[in-house]
Structure formats: structure tokens, C-alpha cells
Amino acid sequence: MTVRIIKSVEIFYRESDTGRQVNLFTFASQKNTCLSDLMEDESIQGDLIYVVEFSDGVKKIVCHPKETRNEEWQVFELFKWCQHWYTIYEWLYKKEFRTKRPFQQYATRYEAEEARSTPEDWEIIKRFSVEEFEERIGKNEDGLNEFEELEENLDLILEHENKNSRAAIASGRYYDYFIEEWLNPIESLHALEPLILDVSYGDFGDNQKPTK
């Protein structure tokens, strides 16, 4: 078994009619649209091409039609792949992917929402009535254990991936079913973090330096 480390990933969009190939995020910017809207736009037909380079010099190319959705998750393959790695990061490091805020256990949901929300969102949430808060978020007295959420999120992945386990991921071995390679998840995340930020948050070009 060869366990590889991802050195870089670049995703291209290839037009179905002209064969023109361009970086996916550049293409979204040219269209003046966010990535999710671009993916949903059925008038834009073409393929996504993933060029993955590993630390041992090997390159691998994965290609699928833009509109391809994962059957089990019912989301676009690109989003599902990034969500898997997003979840693995949070499970390994026990902190929120973008902000690097350490996960915690909160005695009340109010405390949890204040800590987890942006200042703008919290200004809205704290004006909710008790009934509205419970309907939208949950009962205040139930609190929130973010570590339980981490385990549940990882369970959703592992139940469909019989080659993987918590012990294997923690020891530096993860089989990526999308690119069909055994990978070192901790080392590969250095290259994947900027891509996940671009896909998840759409800050094209601003996420080229991964943070720890």
C-alpha cells in the first residue's frame, strides 16, 4: 500500500462545445457569479477536471461532468469531496475549519450561539423570542456539545467508506474514494485547505495561504 501526500490540487472547467479549459474559480469570476450558482446553472455545460499532484511527483487527473451529483449525499461531487475533507480537518484538530476556533461544550444554547456566530448574526439571534429561538435553533437548556457533533459528522462519512476508520485517520492513513488513493490526511490537508476555503466560502484568490 502506497500512502501519498497531496502537494497541490487545481480544478479546471472545460466547456463542452469549444473544449476551452480554464481554472474553475477564474471562470466563476469571469461569469461574475458564486461557485454554487455556477454549479446549479444548467445552461453552463462542461466538465470539471481535477489535477492532483502528489509529493512523490505522481500526477492524477479526475474528470466528471459539472452537473454530476453524489447519489448518496445528493450534492455536487465537488462539494461532497470538500465537505469530507472539511470534516476530517475538524475531527483531527478539534477546531472550526475557517476561524480555527477550538470546539467546546456549552452549558446553554445561548452561550453556544454567541460564541459560534458572527457579531452581525448574534445581533439578530439575541432578539429572538424564546419560542422563535427554540424553533430555529433548539432549547436553551439543552446546551451544545461540539465534540459530539464532530463524531456524528465523521460517522456520516465512515458509514459509506468501509476502508476507513477513526484509528486509521488518526494514524495518518485515509482512502480517498474520489481520487482513489491512500493518503496521509494530516500532511495532505496543507494543500487542501486553500481549495476547501474557496469552495466553501468563495473567497477566490484570497485563500492561497493555509493556516493552522
The pLDDT tens digits for 103-126 are 999 999 999 999 889 899 999 999
Domain presence at residue 106: no
pLDDT for the residue numbered 209: 36
Which stretches in the chain have pLDDT values below 50?
Answer: 203-212
Domain extent at residue 10 = 3-101+159-201
The verdict on residue 11 lying in a domain is yes
The dihedral region occupied by 62, where left means phi > 0, alpha psi between -120 and 50, and beta the remainder, is beta
| Residue 63 within any structural domain of the chain | yes
pLDDT at 210: 35
Pairwise CA distance, residues 127 & 94, whole Å: 30
CA distance 11 to 25: 8
Q: Is residue 66 a contact partner of residue 45, using CB atoms and an 8 Å limit?
A: yes
pLDDT of residue 205: 39
Query: In which residue are the cell numbers 455545460 written?
Result: 45
Q: What pLDDT score was predicted for residue 202?
A: 63
Kind plus residue range of the DSSP H or E element containing 63: strand 59-65
pLDDT at 71: 76
If DSSP codes are grouped into helix, strand and coil, which group holds residue 47? Answer: strand
DSSP alpha helix (H) spans, 41-163:
77-93, 109-116, 119-125, 130-136, 146-158
Q: How far apart are CA 25 and CA 86, in angstroms?
A: 19
Contact (CB, 8 A) for 163 and 85: no
Q: What is the pLDDT of residue 60?
A: 97
Residue type, 45: Q
Residue 196 domain flag:
yes
Residue 94 domain-assigned (yes or no): yes
Does residue 90 sit within a domain? Answer: yes
The residues that bridge with 23 in the sheet, in sequence order, are 12
10 Å Cβ neighbour count for 103? Answer: 19
- Is 182 within the bounds of a domain? yes
Asked whether 178 and 188 are in contact (CB, 8 A), the reply is no
Residues 6+ apart with CB under 8 A from 54: 4, 5, 6, 7, 60, 181
- Is 10 a domain residue? yes
User: Grid coordinates standing for 193?
Assistant: 485547505
For the chain, the C-alpha Rg in angstroms (whole number) is 19
The span from the CA of 164 to the CA of 155, in Å, is: 11
pTM: 0.84
Which whole-number Å values give the CA distances from 115 to 5, 87, 100, 105, 126, in the listed order?
Answer: 34, 20, 13, 11, 12
The number of domains in the chain is: 1
